[in-house]
Chain A
Amino acid sequence: MNRLLALVRREFWENKGALRTTPLVIGGLYIAGLLMSIFTTAHFDNDLYTFREAIRFLATQPVEFRATHGYEVILGSSIFFTVVLAFVVFFYLLGALYDDRKDRSILFWKSLPASDTVTIVSKLMTAMVLTPLIFWVVFIFTQVVMAIIASLMILSVGENPWTLIFSVVNPFKAWAMLLVTYLAASIWFLPLHSWLLLVSSFAPRIPLLFAILPPVVFAVLQIWITFLKTFTLNTSLFGLIGDWVANSPAIFVGGEHGGETLLGLGVPLTGDFDHAITLANILDRLFSVQMLSGLVVSAVFLAGALWLRHRATES
């Protein structure tokens, strides 16, 4: 266990830029964006008249309205964090078993008493737990800073931010839900994580190419053969991957449609799952047949990655 933690810490040291600086930069962008919009408003809005009216209007709305919308705003603003998190994890895993082969430092790591299994587990832990946790913490920190700035604005127009928002909105529930979706999505995407580790363990160069090309070639052939046989463009690996993303327990869609806030798990393209953000729906995905088959695929990929890691110093 101590070994595993030491190795996870080593992953953090090596990837500090991606794992820590990236979310900090996004948080900074959020705060900068808020400040810019405040200055824009102050610049064009005479004595903040419109802003004051908007706040007053908000104050007349029922408590439930404010509570639901506050909750959705908190969760909705996480989407950009989530998308970037997905990219960071993708590229982290792609390099995880590649970089040290490339610079030959694998010879140093293999001279330490840590098995290949614990090494691979440490990389998965970094991708599936540590990185989402860092993004989550920075996200909360960003929201707290933004809430303070917003409160000052509300105070400046003579309204009480406490009675208006903070006494009715429960951010902890939203934050907890976000963390649950992050960890659930980590598990949901285990087949993808495992595939990336597998590629990372054998790619002689440009792992990105080796990660993307085989599924693309496979899917194109699949589509072509199906087309020849049935003259239809039916399901393919693309469809499968697309469904996988669409059904994921991560909060991916946000926005408004006809006055209704659309905030849901994954993307509501298929009817396989309910996309409302509830714990039951998240668990429903994790205990589904899809997840089970995904775990089997993951096991095969991970076994391959382990086998290749064992032989990485062969020549």
Chain B
Amino acid sequence: MTPIISARGLTKRYGRTTAVDHIDLEIPPGKIVGLIGPNGAGKTSALKAILGLATFEGELSVLGKNPSRDRAALMEDVCFIADVAVLPRWARVWQLIDITEKLHAGFTRETCMEYLKQTKITLDHKVKQLSKGMVAQLHLALVMAIDAKLLVLDEPTLGLDILYRKQFYSSLLNDYFDEQRTILITTHQVEEVEHILTDLVFIQDGKIALESSMEEVERRYVELMVRPENAEQARTLGPLYERELFGRHIFLYDNVAREQLAGLGEIHTPSVADLFVATMKGGQS
């Protein structure tokens, strides 16, 4: 299958700083990819290049198009929520629906209305009258009513409450996602998205620190919790990362046989957050 996003040597410089540093990336269709990295790692810069919002160096093709040159054509098949609350504040809900319908061939008004019915938003509301959470709901309703091949969400739930965030991701997964579609998400709240992701991309200092499917993560990475007396032995097996919790030592291993570890203590599959911390710390040392 042709990839949805294909980047080779993708680089973005702002003056002397290199925000994205020769990234190679390939995202096939039907995936939910989490693009995860610390602040200033280059996530947003990479997303901007993918969405045609910024120029770049290197090769980048999104749905076979050059995003910087063909942004308008690309947006026929790509939707994005770049940040919370970027809907124009002067606009009324019906006006936004109207203009999206006029400009987007793949927009279905009925679908949008279905989503809006589940909220307190009315067609006559002005965006500036809505709370932050409601604006996010409105934006999501607009976007989910568009039949797009790629949906990009950059911190879509920043500043929203936990109830709304849960609902957001569940409707994304249950109502929107299918094999034809690809979703690319960046977020700081890794715990909330890890159950819905199919693939992980960690990015650090403009470079890719880890690119893996969730299945591979489960296969490759093991977390081992041991009592202090076994810690020394655990260290000899070459853990990626070690931390202490309630007097126990927790080690994270990459590609170490589970049987080898099982005798030392309890083994788990690490959470994405722990894997992230381990990868970032490991990358620094």
Contact = CB atoms under 8 A, between A and B. Distances in A.
A205 interface: no
Given A13-B91, A14-B90, A105-B86, A110 B99 contact: no
B103 A13 contact: no
Given A311-B55, A313-B54, A314-B55, A113 B72 contact: yes
Contact of A6 (B53, B73, B87, B102): B102
A134 B10 CA distance: 49
Interface string A83-126: 00000000000000000100111111111111110100000000
B165 interface: no
Contacts of A7: 99, 103
B88 A2 contact: no
A263 B104 CA distance: 49
A35 B52 CA distance: 58
B20 to A, nearest CB: 13
Q: Which among B51, B54, B74, B86 has the highest number of chain A CB atoms within 10 Å?
A: B86
Contacts of B102: 2-3, 6
B76 interface: yes
Interface in B43-58: 48, 51-55
B183 to A, nearest CB: 15
B65 to A, nearest CB: 12
Interface residues of A, number: 28
A113 B104 contact: yes
A248 to B, nearest CB: 32
Scoring B51, B99, B100, B139 by chain A CB atoms within 10 A of each residue's CB, the highest score goes to B99
Contact of A111 (B55, B79, B91): B79
Contacts of B139: 108
Contacts, number: 80
B75 A107 contact: no
Nearest to B85: A104
A103 to B, nearest CB: 6
B103 A113 contact: yes
Contact of A104 (B73, B86, B92): B86
B248 interface: no
A315 interface: yes
B82 interface: yes
B132 interface: no
B233 interface: no
A108 B143 CA distance: 11
Nearest to A3: B103
B13 to A, nearest CB: 11
B71 interface: yes
A10 interface: yes
B71 A107 contact: no
A114 B48 contact: no
Interface in A42-100: 100
Contacts of A112: 75, 99-100, 103-104
A5 to B, nearest CB: 8
The 9 closest A-B pairs by CB, nearest first: A6-B102, A115-B72, A113-B75, A313-B53, A105-B88, A107-B82, A107-B86, A112-B103, A113-B76
Interface of B: 14, 48, 51-55, 71-76, 79-83, 86-92, 95, 98-100, 102-104, 139
Interface of A: 2-3, 6-7, 9-10, 13-14, 100, 103-116, 118, 311, 313-315
11 contacts: A3-B103, A6-B98, A7-B103, A13-B95, A110-B53, A111-B75, A111-B80, A112-B100, A112-B104, A113-B72, A114-B75
